[in-house]
Amino acid sequence: MFLGHIAVGLAAKKAAPKASLLWLVGAPTLLDLLWPVFLAVGLEEVRIAPGITAVTPLDFLKYPISHSLLLAAVWGLLAAGFYFAARNDRTGAAVVGALVVSHWILDWASHRPDMPFTPWSRTKVGLGLWNSVPATLAVEGTLFAVGLFLYALATKARDATGRWSFAAFAVLLVVLYLGNVFGPPPPSVAALNAVAFAGFLIPVWAGWFDRHREARAAAA
């Protein structure tokens, strides 16, 4: 899942108005930001196998550190701790922690049964939404639309950057997503790994336009 993770981060703004989208979008995408790191150092493994699911050609052979439920909870606690240390915002910290774990739940819905509960568990789970392109587009499209709507409802632009950078973010992510679903598979694991590192730009961009928006008054 890709847009779905970003969607839950956008939707969380209402619950954690003091938290920047840098955190609120970074948290639900954190496991996918850690993944290329562990891939690069050889602790995790992926294979490109076109046709393995309808949506993604990636066969996640091993990703115990970034994508086991147990470590997702640990990463969630760490992220919540860092956020609390930086911002002293208890509600925001709880939301950040929950968002990190939400990644595992959404991935569990979309992946083949390749998601481990613990780094050493042999049982792997996954509901396989990715076996259907229409179902994936419907679920992720709906999640993303709802996320954008809730964020737009919770905040308003303070200036042109707050309006247009947000709009461009939404459009560009949809374009990237469709390119990802309908485009050719990555040419190599090395290329995939390099592109995955660029994923950190998404929360950075979200944090940028979020600084140019402010909470709407409750009555408005």
Q: How many CB atoms lie within 10 A of CB 118?
A: 12
106/154 with CB nearer Zn ion: 106
Per-residue binding letters, 79-118, with Zn ion (x by CB under 5 A):
----------------------------x-----------
Binding segment (CB under 5 A) for Zn ion, from list 23-31, 53-61, 143-151, 200-208: 23-31
Cβ 170 to Zn ion shortest distance, Å = 21
The distance of closest approach from Cβ of residue 86 to Zn ion in the complex, given in angstroms and rounded to an integer, is 24
The count of C-alpha atoms lying within 13 angstroms of the C-alpha of 23, restricted to the half-sphere facing its C-beta, is: 28
Task: Give Cα 8 distance to the centre of its chain.
Answer: 8
* By the rule CB under 5 A, 140 interacts with Zn ion: no
- Phi, psi for 45 (deg, rounded to 5): -135, 140
Euclidean distance between CA atoms 31 and 10, whole angstroms: 17
Q: Which stretch binds Zn ion (CB under 5 A): 27-35, 48-56, 90-98, 193-201?
A: 27-35
- Candidate list 11, 16, 26, 32; residue touching Zn ion; CB under 5 A: 32
The minimum distance between CB 67 and Zn ion, in angstroms, equals: 6
CB of 122 to Zn ion, least distance (A): 20
Angle between helices 133-154 and 160-182 (to 10 degrees): 170
* 219's tokens: 């009555």
Q: Is the dihedral of CA 136, 143, 7, 29 positive or negative?
A: negative
Q: Cβ closer to Zn ion: 30 or 154?
A: 30
Instruction: Give, in order, the Cα–Cα distances in Å from 162 to each of 15, 90, 149, 169, 213.
Output: 20, 26, 15, 11, 5
| Contact between 210 and Zn ion per CB under 5 A | no
Which CB atom, from 32 or from 140, has the smaller least distance to Zn ion? Answer: 32
- How far apart are CB 49 and Zn ion at their closest, in Å? 17
CB of 7 vs Zn ion, minimal distance in Å: 14
Contact (Cβ atoms closer than 8 angstroms) between residue 183 and residue 1: no
Interface with Zn ion by CB under 5 A: which range of 26-34, 132-140, 173-181, 196-204? 26-34
| Cβ(86)–Cβ(55) below 8 Å | no
Footprint on this chain of Zn ion (rule: CB under 5 A): 31-32, 107
